[in-house]
Amino acid sequence: MFTETVEKFIYNSSIGIHVVSPEGIIIYANECELDVLGYTKNEYIGHHVSEFQIDKECLSMMLERLNLFEKLKNYPARVQGKVGIKYIIYNSSVFKEGGQFKHTRCYGTEVEKVIYDVFMKYFQPE
């Protein structure tokens, strides 16, 4: 029987979860996301994703695909953590209502650089 609230389940998940507005503003991040990157809620939520994504071309491609309501699967990205670069593999989709982009549903898993490098070697956006 599932007795935990959905909110607590998501916030305490062992995978990073964040939500981004159509304008690129981070409007939610769970504890794992904050812990992996080393930021407090105030340092991360309310900020534009471009403040954290290191590869601007990667961010541009991600946002372009999400704006077309495409799903991102196993999308490698380098993210600026509070202390150093973090290598994250993202899966993301868009919540839309009435045909309009409302926000993303983004899940990120931190990986070691060697794993990130393998993803980059074989990465082909779907």
Closest CA to 41 of 5, 82, 8: 82
Per-residue model confidence (pLDDT) at position 123? 73
Rounded Cα distance, 34 and 4, in Å: 21
| Token pair recorded at residue 68 | 């077309």
Coil, strand, or helix at residue 7? helix
Q: Give backbone dihedrals phi and psi of 120, rounded to 5 degrees, phi first.
A: -65, -35
Helix (H) or strand (E) holding 114: helix 113-122
Per-residue model confidence (pLDDT) at position 14? 95
Length of the chain as a residue count = 126
CA distances from 20 to 31, 103, 118, 120 (A): 16, 5, 27, 24
Rounded Cα distance, 81 and 92, in Å: 20
Per-residue model confidence (pLDDT) at position 2? 78
Full pLDDT tens readout for the chain, 126 residues: 778 999 999 999 999 999 999 999 999 999 999 999 999 999 999 999 999 999 999 999 999 999 999 999 999 999 999 999 999 999 999 999 999 999 999 999 999 999 999 988 887 665
- The class of domain 6-122 in CATH terms is alpha beta
Contact between 118 and 106 (Cβ < 8 Å)? no
